[in-house]
């Protein structure tokens, strides 16, 4: 099967008055945020834009091409600091936290990771700047890419379950006292687990998830930095 991507062909020019590709992509992102991947269709998108679904195919050949455009659009929301100015660790930390926040704002993004090619200008900009961060750190050769893969694996691995939990718990994603009581009953015979549940009983769940993410991120960066000295 031939490899295809919307980014490997020239964008089509409008054949007449109508919506621009930018407007179509922005509307697609809004629809995805509201209804998720299963809620996106050319028909729904056309209705939102007061345009026929057929007219949208002038700009994108398939739904996957539309998803590629939406995917890259949200990568453009990530904050990329200059490691030459702020240092590599701060730059990586800013990017990692920003990447997590973008995924939480756009939960459907997690389902597209690894499924669609990240060849859009925003995704490539992030990847390019991330390589620069690790080169400033002192990594060389393939280790630059290995360090980047380690970072993204951590961010994706921590954030994807959080997105699933938020979805299961509703809009807030917060634990309820009823849920805590259920967990306490389930772990009644496991004292270490009971201690963990009771210790976090009064904590703000969102703040705890943020602290957990930062703890792990600092540990990952410590480990990467240690490799530079061995």
In the predicted structure, residue 123 carries a pLDDT above the cut 90: yes
Percent of the chain with pLDDT over 90: 57
Say yes or no: do domains 6-75 and 83-228 share a fold: no
Domain boundaries, the chain: 6-75, 83-228
Is the model more confident about 138 or about 14?
138
Which tokens in the block code for residue 138?
Answer: 């002192």
* Architecture in CATH for domain 83-228: Orthogonal Bundle (1.10)
Give the model's confidence band at 208: pLDDT under 50 very low, under 70 low, under 90 confident, else very high. Answer: confident
pTM score, whole prediction: 0.87
Identify the helix (H) or strand (E) that includes residue 99.
helix 88-105
CATH code given to domain 6-75: 1.10.10.60
In the predicted structure, residue 200 carries a pLDDT above the cut 70: no
Name the residue among 82, 83, 78 with its Cα closest to residue 98.
Answer: 78
Lowest model confidence (mean pLDDT) among 10-14, 58-62, 226-230 = 10-14
| Contact residues for 96 (Cβ-Cβ < 8 A; gap 6+) | 151, 154, 155, 217
In the predicted structure, residue 52 carries a pLDDT above the cut 70: no
The predicted model gives 194-218 an average pLDDT of 83
Euclidean distance between CA atoms 157 and 171, whole angstroms: 21
Is the model more confident about 219 or about 7?
219
In the predicted structure, residue 60 carries a pLDDT above the cut 90: no
In the predicted structure, residue 133 carries a pLDDT above the cut 80: yes
Euclidean distance between CA atoms 126 and 79, whole angstroms: 9
Mean pLDDT, the chain, whole residue set: 88
pLDDT tens digits, residue range 63-79? 888 999 999 999 999 99
The predicted model gives 146-162 an average pLDDT of 97
Lowest model confidence (mean pLDDT) among 3-17, 149-163, 203-217 = 3-17
| Axis-axis angle for helices 142-169, 205-228 (nearest 10) | 170
In the predicted structure, residue 177 carries a pLDDT above the cut 80: no
In the predicted structure, residue 172 carries a pLDDT above the cut 60: no
Name the residue among 6, 31, 4, 25 with its Cα closest to residue 120.
Answer: 6
Per-residue pLDDT, 193: 83
Q: What is the dihedral of CA 148, 107, 120, 39, to 10 degrees?
A: 150
Per-residue pLDDT, 108: 97
Name the residue among 61, 59, 60, 70 with its Cα closest to residue 13.
Answer: 59
DSSP label of 78: S
């Amino acid at each position: 099967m031939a490899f295809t991507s919307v980014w490997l062909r020239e964008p089509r020019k409008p054949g007449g008055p109508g919506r621009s590709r930018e407007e179509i992509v922005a509307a697609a992102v809004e629809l995805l945020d509201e209804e998720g991947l299963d809620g996106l269709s050319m028909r729904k998108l056309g209705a939102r834009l007061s345009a026929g679904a057929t007219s949208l195919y002038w700009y994108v050949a398939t739904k996957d091409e539309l998803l590629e455009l939406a995917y890259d659009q949200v990568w453009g929301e990530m904050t990329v600091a200059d490691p030459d100015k702020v240092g590599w660790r701060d730059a990586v930390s800013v990017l990692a936290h920003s990447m997590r926040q973008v995924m939480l704002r756009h939960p459907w993004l997690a389902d597209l990771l690894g499924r669609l090619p990240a060849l859009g200008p925003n995704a490539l900009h992030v990847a390019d700047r991330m390589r620069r961060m690790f080169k400033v750190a002192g990594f060389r050769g393939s280790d630059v890419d290995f360090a980047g893969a380690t970072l993204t694996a951590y961010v994706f691995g921590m954030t994807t379950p959080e997105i699933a939990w938020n979805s299961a718990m509703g809009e807030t994603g917060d634990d309820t006292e009823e849920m805590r009581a259920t967990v306490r009953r389930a772990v009644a015979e496991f004292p270490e687990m009971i201690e963990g549940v009771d210790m976090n009983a009064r904590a703000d769940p969102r703040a705890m998830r943020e602290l957990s993410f930062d703890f792990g991120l600092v540990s990952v960066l410590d480990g990467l930095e240690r490799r530079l000295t061995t």
